[in-house]
Amino acid sequence: MQNDIFLGLSSVGWTAISSIATSIAVITALFFPLIDKIKRRKNIYSIIDHEIKRNIAVLNKALSLNENYLSFTNAPAAVKKGFIIQDISTNYWEENKQYISEHSSKKYNEYLEINNIFNETKAFAFQVLNTNEIDPPLQYIEVALERAYSLLNNQKKN
């Protein structure tokens, strides 16, 4: 029997290294899809949370609108607030709500409620801009913001 040694290892050593490498490849192939799904889900949740925070900032900006905003126009304050509220975006939510509903009904319901508030508020702003109805926009925005904050606080408690 020949005792072949290559790079300080015998054939038994090389066989052991190749079986370890094969085992690592099989384990990676088995668990990578699961890890990838978890990572993707966390990224989607993170981006939607960021979108929600941005939308709340838009509502806050509309509420704290000062008189000098767009001062070069004669538009009523409600119309100016409508322009600001048009910046609300639920695009990423709309693109991923099917994926979220398949993976977590609890998260889906949480995101659905708050994004419905944003969509209703944006529709209200669109109505204000198109019809120049300026009766209760400030109160509507305040109510929408309060609903969004209460939903977020309830979600944090749970």
Look up residue 121 and give its two tokens: 């508020």
Question: Contact 97/53 with Cβ under 8 angstroms?
Answer: no
The Cα–Cα gap between 73 and 90 comes to 29
Phi, psi of 48 (to 5 degrees): -65, -40
pTM: 0.67
Fold annotation for 38-157: Four Helix Bundle (Hemerythrin (Met), subunit A) (1.20.120)
Question: If you average pLDDT over every residue of the chain, what do you get?
Answer: 79
Backbone angles phi, psi at 9, to 5 degrees: -120, 140
Rounded Cα distance between 97 and 80, Å, is 31
How far apart, in whole angstroms, are the C-alpha atoms of residue 16 and residue 79?
Answer: 74
Structure tokens at 145: 């913001």
Domain ranges of the chain: 38-157
**Backbone φ/ψ region at 4: left (φ over 0), alpha (ψ -120 to 50), beta:** beta
Residue 1 — pLDDT band, cuts 50, 70, 90? very low
CB atoms inside a 10 Å sphere around CB 55: 24
How do residues 52-109 score in pLDDT, each as one tens digit? 889 888 888 877 776 555 555 666 667 777 778 888 888 898 999 898 888 888 889 8
Q: Copy the structure tokens of residue 50.
A: 């960021």
